[in-house]
Amino acid sequence: MTILPFLLALMITVEDPGACPVDVRLNHVQFIGTHNSYKLDITPELAEMIEQINPGGSKNIRYGHQTITYQLEQIGIRKFELDVFLDPDGGRFAQPAGALATRESDYIDHPEMLQPGLKVMHAQDVDYRTTCRTFIGCLQEIYEWSEQNPHHLPVMVMVELKEGQPRGEDLYRFTPAIPFTEETIYTVDEEILNVFPRNKLITPDDVRKGEITLEAGLLRYGWPGLNDSRGKILFALDNTGNARNLYLHQSDILENRLLFVSSAPGEPSAAFIKMNNSLGDEAEIRERAQSGYLIRTRSDIPMTEAPANDHTRKLAAFRSGAQYVSTDFPEPAPSGFTVQFEGLNSMWRCNPVTAPEGCMPGCLNE
């Protein structure tokens, strides 16, 4: 490290957000984000009912989060994940079987659930409790906070399109989810634009910059500068199967689309890659991050690492250089397990693999 950048970095203050002696870009930061960011724990009454019919069946869904606004303001989360179900007529998920069985009135015929539009939950009828019931409602929380904090670091939102139903027909007859089609796949884009003006977004076209493919634009120009990305939101599709293919069907380079999709190097749409196995894929994650791709990985699997207070997967994720590390425990679990970086801004840091020499905590001030 040369002396001048080091001294300049030491002079950066919180009152000077974004001042930095080196060119820091979006992919030079490592963020901790939340998995199933909207989710509340199921009630003890419902958990007991599940266990009576299917012993152990509730174990992996016994976790939950604070509201998105709380996560933004109090924890410092800048990466979220939302699961959405089609509900074009409204009311499809307004009477969850679990809520009816346990008489949980707050989740029966709630006015928001009676309106048309994408609904947010983990699993219909059984894991339906959420801090924000609609996709637009969740996004409005992010938008309102962003408007009040215009210098914030870019916020990533991953969206999973839900089409299946939970296992456990002995428990309930589950409400069938509506499959996404070529006609409905862009409902997500439409609802995003109902909340965010396009100039608040970082889109695939912003990275492609007119090149023949998204990957070509990424490899030529790189990701936007961090300061140019402040106050903005980028979206990515969590799905890697049929829903991903449907989303790409109009343009395999994501022209005029809002979401990035997980794509392997060499594909026209390659820029973002979902690589969940930080234990087995640490070296490959590091290699792809060094090549310029944005990577999402996980620090813990629901109710696996946390009860055992096992930090092995978390530390592998941190070392890998993945820009987005998802957790269910940004705050301590009963075992003490939590996922945070050391330091004042415990949910982001200069990326240990991709950040340029001279990147200092002050470069990431908000």
pLDDT in tens, 163-220: 987 766 656 678 999 999 999 999 999 999 999 999 999 999 999 999 999 999 999 9
How far apart are alpha carbons 270 and 325 in whole angstroms? Answer: 19
**Coil, helix or strand for 81?**
strand
pLDDT exceeds 70 at position 14: no
Q: In this structure, is residue 16 part of a structural domain?
A: no
Calculate mean pLDDT across residues 112-129: 97
Least confident among 2-11, 74-83, 160-169, 219-228:
2-11
**pTM given for the model:** 0.93
Model confidence band, residue 297 (pLDDT cutoffs 50, 70, 90): very high
Model confidence band, residue 19 (pLDDT cutoffs 50, 70, 90): confident
Looking only at the bridges linking them, the beta strands covering 79-85 and 155-161 are parallel
Q: In this structure, is residue 85 part of a structural domain?
A: yes
Q: In this structure, is residue 5 part of a structural domain?
A: no
Around Cβ 148, how many Cβ atoms within 10 Å? 10
pLDDT digits (tens, 9 = 90+) for 217-272: 999 999 999 999 999 999 999 999 999 999 999 999 999 999 999 999 999 999 99
CATH number of the domain where residue 197 is located = 3.20.20.190
What pLDDT score was predicted for residue 337? 96
pLDDT: is 18 or 144 the higher one? 144
pLDDT: is 279 or 303 the higher one? 279
- The whole domain housing 31 covers 26-363
Calculate mean pLDDT across residues 274-291: 98
Q: In this structure, is residue 270 part of a structural domain?
A: yes
Q: In this structure, is residue 341 part of a structural domain?
A: yes
3-state helix, strand, coil in the chain (%, to 5): 35, 15, 50
From edge to edge, which strands make up the β-sheet containing 324-327? 272-274, 294-298, 324-327, 29-34, 348-350
What pLDDT score was predicted for residue 303? 86
Ramachandran angles phi, psi of 104, nearest 5°? -90, 90
Q: What percent of the chain has pLDDT over 70?
A: 93
Q: In this structure, is residue 318 part of a structural domain?
A: yes
The 10 Å CB-count burial string (b at 16+, else e) for 13-28 is eeeebbebbbebbbbb
Number of domains in the chain: 1
Q: In this structure, is residue 2 part of a structural domain?
A: no
Angle between helices 312-320 and 282-290 (to 10 degrees): 20
Q: Give the alpha-carbon dihedral of 331, 237, 221, 292, to 10 degrees.
A: 60
Q: In this structure, is residue 243 part of a structural domain?
A: yes
